[in-house]
Structures are given as C-alpha cells and as structure tokens.
Amino acid sequence: MAEPEDTTAEDDGAVQPPKSNKLMLIVIVLNVLVMAAGGAAFFVGGSPDDGKAEAGEKKTEDDMMMEMDGPPTLVKLEPFIVNLNDAGGSRYLKISLEVEVPGEKGVEVAMGRMAPMRHKVISYLSALSYADIAGKGKKVDLQKALVTELNEELKGKVVKNLYFTEFVIQ
C-alpha cells in the first residue's frame, strides 16, 4: 500500500522556520511599556484637569476680565485698625470695608487674594494722617484711592466700588 502524501510538509524543498510567537511577545511588551509610561505620567503629572488649571493660570489679564461678568457681589473684609501717621502718634483709625466685584469669578479672585489685599489696605491707611481723612470729601478721595490700590494688587479692574461699613477715628 502506498502511503498518503503529506501536503503540509515541505513542498518546494525550502526549510520553513519553526513557528514562534516572538513577534507577538514583542508587541505585548511594547504595549505594556507604553501603558506603564502613561500611568507614570498621570501619577507624576497629575490628572488631565490639572493641565486645564495650569492653562487657566496662564490666561491673560483680558481673558480673566472677560470671564468676570455677573451681578455685583459684595465681599466683606475683616475690620482694619491702624495707627495714623500723626506727629503725636496717638490717633488710630478703625475701618470696615466691603468691596463690590462682578459675579462669582470676581468673588473667587478677591477671596483668593485676601491677604495681599489686606496688606495693601493696611499699608495705605497707615501712611495717612488725620488731616488726610477728616471730612466727607477726604473720605470720597480715600474710597477712590483704595479702589485703585486694590485693583493694582489684583492686576485688573476687579473691584468696581468700595463701601465703608465702619469708620472710626480716635
């Protein structure tokens, strides 16, 4: 009897390399490395939302001002007590303020910069004398000057107005 021919064997006489999964192994290793690098970048660099926050910090002043839209909102500052710059050094000023800012974005900016704003007000007020603040006209001038000082600190026209809620000179 004749043996059946093996058609899967070498028909043309060329030697076929043994079938291996080297290529598949290389592809799997590369995928694992890419996923590990992505995971490391996520944990080291933060979440994708952090990138958006950084981009938000790099916004220009005009972009920030355009976002500040909304109804006028008052932000209350804690009371200030400063010595006035008088020769006798015996007078002091106790003052409470509320600043008007545009909408929630304005409140966010003001609250985020509260310590520098307070520093600016204290520095400005402590340089004044009794003669600089006595009388209605002087209070209006002080109000305008403080708005200017605060906006310089906030790097834009965030403070729209300022209201005295307490004003005591002793």
Q: Is 170 helix (H, G, I), strand (E, B) or coil?
A: coil
Please, what's the b/e burial string for 13-40 (b: 16 or more CB within 10 A of its CB; e: otherwise)? eeeeeeeeeeeeeeeeeeeeeeeeeeee
Which CATH number is 62-169 given? 3.30.479.30
Q: What is the mean pLDDT of residues 42-56?
A: 53
Q: How many residues does the chain have?
A: 170
Q: How confident is the model at residue 5 (pLDDT cuts 50, 70, 90)?
A: low
Q: Where are the domains of the chain?
A: 22-57, 62-169
Give the whole-angstrom CA distance, residue 119 versus residue 165: 19
The pTM for the full model equals 0.60
Measured CA angle at 122 (ends 97, 145), to 5 deg: 65
The dihedral over CA atoms of 102, 105, 106, 110, expressed in degrees to the nearest 10, equals 160
| pLDDT of amino acid 162 | 95
pLDDT at residue number 25: 74
Q: What pLDDT sits at residue 35?
A: 77
| Angle between helix 114-126 and 103-112 (nearest 10) | 70
